[in-house]
Structure formats: C-alpha cells, structure tokens
Amino acid sequence: MSLKQKLIDFGCGPEFVDIAMGFSKYYKPALDIEAFIEFVEDEFARIEAEEAKAKLEEESVDATELFDEFESEDEFDDNTDLYSEYAADEEE
C-alpha cells in the first residue's frame, strides 16, 4: 500500500496528504503511520515558525529612521519647546 493511501485510510485530509507527500523521503515502511504523521506535523510547524520569524524580521521598522526628519538637535529641541508651551496652555 502506498504512503498516500495509508494517509488517506488513516483519515488525513487532502491538504495534509499533500504536505505529508513533501516529506515522503523520510517515510520508512517499518515506521508506524502515526509516528510519520507526528513527524510531518512537527516539521511543518517548525518550518512555518521559521518562515513567520523571517517575515517578521523583514517587516520590522528601524525606529532610528523615524527621527530623520529633524535635521539637527536644535530643531528637535525647538519642537520640544513648542510642545511644552502647548502642554502648559492646556493645563490653564
């Protein structure tokens, strides 16, 4: 009986069967089908976690770029003073 048929007979859905077939080189007929299914689940989860981590690292924002609009420390200080004046007006 083929690996694909064993997975189907075990009750695996078509999507999982497709995923598991990608790991078919690791299947050994002497290995219990349940052990192979657990292996596929663990490996697929590990791969998904690595891909998610890589995607998150790509999407990370370098906060130092957020302050590039201020050309100098003096300009930053001037804007800070404006905020202080605004906050003081609000308190009154």
Sequence ranges of the domains in the chain: 3-59, 62-92
Predicted TM-score (pTM) above 0.95: no
pLDDT digits (tens, 9 = 90+) for 44-86: 999 999 999 998 888 776 666 666 665 555 555 665 665 666 6
pLDDT digits (tens, 9 = 90+) for 54-63: 988 887 766 6
- DSSP type of residue 13: -
What number of helices (H) and strands (E) belong to the chain? 4, 0
Amino acid at 75: E
Torsion-angle region of 61 (φ positive above 0: left; ψ -120 to 50: alpha; else: beta)? beta
Q: Which residues contact 10 (CB under 8 A, 6 or more apart)?
A: 33, 34, 37
Q: Is 31 helix (H, G, I), strand (E, B) or coil?
A: coil
Looking at per-residue pLDDT, the higher value among 41 and 74 belongs to 41
Rounded (10°) angle between helices 3-10 and 14-21: 150
